Amino acid sequence: MTGDPTTIRRLYGRRSGHKLREGQAALLEELLPAIGVPEEGALGSAALFGDDRPLHFEIGFGSGEHLAYRADLLPDHGFIGAEPFLNGVVGALAHVRDKRLANVRLHMGDALEVLERLPDASLRFAYLLHPDPWPKARHAKRRMVNHGPLDLIAAKLQPGGEFRLGTDDPTYCRWSMMIMNRRSDFEWLAESAGDFLVRPGGWPETRYEAKARRKGHEVWYFRYRRV
């Protein structure tokens, strides 16, 4: 297998769903420019939030429930999220508006483009929750849990920082365990099976996860410390 998301540089799947309502379109036109990640230049806490604060980065935030929950929980931290799906970005903008979150910055597009521009060792947390599993073997190179993206995540996390991964796909679960077990720069924070079968504190259930459970899917929660 050759290549991974850091070299393929292509976003697959649809970029939008149902037509936006008037209020949703207004959010996109008015709020996103105000809290959007700048398109050019180096990024960091001072550039994004005007001060020195712990940074969190979520890769593919869906509709933003997790991102908004964490940002509301930790108002003195800075949260950066990237999501290519238009309707997901609108959902996150609604959370930002409703919760009056001043500590969130959003990017509608490829997460790797933003991650590359962050200073090394600048992140306290990185999140990858229910990524597309690409279950066919020939599509494994598209999975975000591959060594190229993980090298980048490792570089941007502070020593002692945490990478959180959630999935309800058995193939992705096994794949992630195999890939992560090959790495010496991450320490798996699990001492028993229950540690990744039970949602940790401060990790809210998203609509996607609730939908997966209604379908009878198991959900796995992985926490890794950057060493």
SS3 labels along the chain = CCCCHHHHCCCCCCCCCCCCCHHHHHHHHHHHHHHECCCCCCCCHHHHHCCCCCEEEEECCCCCHHHHHHHHHCCCCEEEEECCCHHHHHHHHHHHHHHCCCCEEEECCCHHHHHHHCCCCCEEEEEEECCCCCCCHHHHHHCCCCHHHHHHHHHHEEEEEEEEEEECCHHHHHHHHHHHHCCCCEEECCCCCHHHHCCCCCCCCCHHHHHHHHCCCCCEEEEEEEC
In tens, the pLDDT along 14-72 reads: 555 567 777 788 888 999 999 999 999 889 999 999 999 999 999 999 999 999 999 99
Cα separation, 155 vs 171, in Å, equals 26
Question: Which sequence positions are flagged as catalytic?
Answer: 132
Cβ atoms of residues 220 and 166 within 8 Å: yes
Chain mean pLDDT for the chain = 92
Dump pLDDT digits (tens) for 196-221. 999 999 999 998 899 999 999 999 99
pLDDT at 110: 94
Task: Supply the pTM of this predicted model.
Answer: 0.93
| Lowest mean pLDDT, pick from 16-20, 63-67, 96-100, 109-113 | 16-20
The percent of residues in the chain predicted with pLDDT above 70, rounded, is 96
Q: Is 95 helix (H, G, I), strand (E, B) or coil?
A: helix
